[in-house]
Amino acid sequence: GIRCLARFLADSDGDEPGRQWQIDTLAGRIVPELLSDGTIRVDMGVPFLQPAAIPTTLEIGPSGIPEGLIEAAGESFQVGAAGMGNPHMVIPVADVEQVDLERFGAALELHPSFPAKANVHFVQALSPSHLVMRVWERGAGPTLACGTGACATLVVCHRLGISGRRARLDLPGGPLEIHWDEASDHLFMDGPAEAVFDGVLSPLLWGPAPAADFNDQQLDTQPSEQLDPDQEKLGQQELEQQLVEQQSQGQEPGPGVSQGEPAINCSVACVHGCQRPDDCPTAAIRAKTLEMLNSSSLDELVALASNSIESRSRARAQRRSALDASGLDSPGLDSPGPETAA
Domains, in order of start, for the chain: 2-191 (3.10.310.10), 271-328 (no CATH)
Greater pLDDT, 342 or 87: 87
d(CA 225, CA 166): 28
Given the DSSP bridges, would you call strands 130-137 and 166-171 parallel, antiparallel or unpaired? parallel
Q: Tell me, what's the pLDDT at 158?
A: 98
Instruction: Convert the pLDDT of each residue in 330-340 to its tens digit.
Output: 433 333 333 33
d(CA 169, CA 145): 10
Average pLDDT over residues 303-325: 66
Within the chain, how many helices (H) and strands (E) appear? 7, 13
Q: Tell me, what's the pLDDT at 212?
A: 47
d(CA 134, CA 172): 7
Predicted structure pTM score: 0.61
- Burial of residue 4 (number of CB atoms within 10 Å: 0-12, 13-18, 19+): middle
Bridge partner list, 169: 131, 176
- In the predicted model, is pLDDT for residue 254 greater than 50? no
Do the Cβ atoms of 55 and 61 come closer than 8 Å? no
Q: Tell me, what's the pLDDT at 289?
A: 77
Q: Tell me, what's the pLDDT at 281?
A: 76
Q: Tell me, what's the pLDDT at 17?
A: 85
Q: How confident is the model at residue 58 (pLDDT cuts 50, 70, 90)?
A: very high
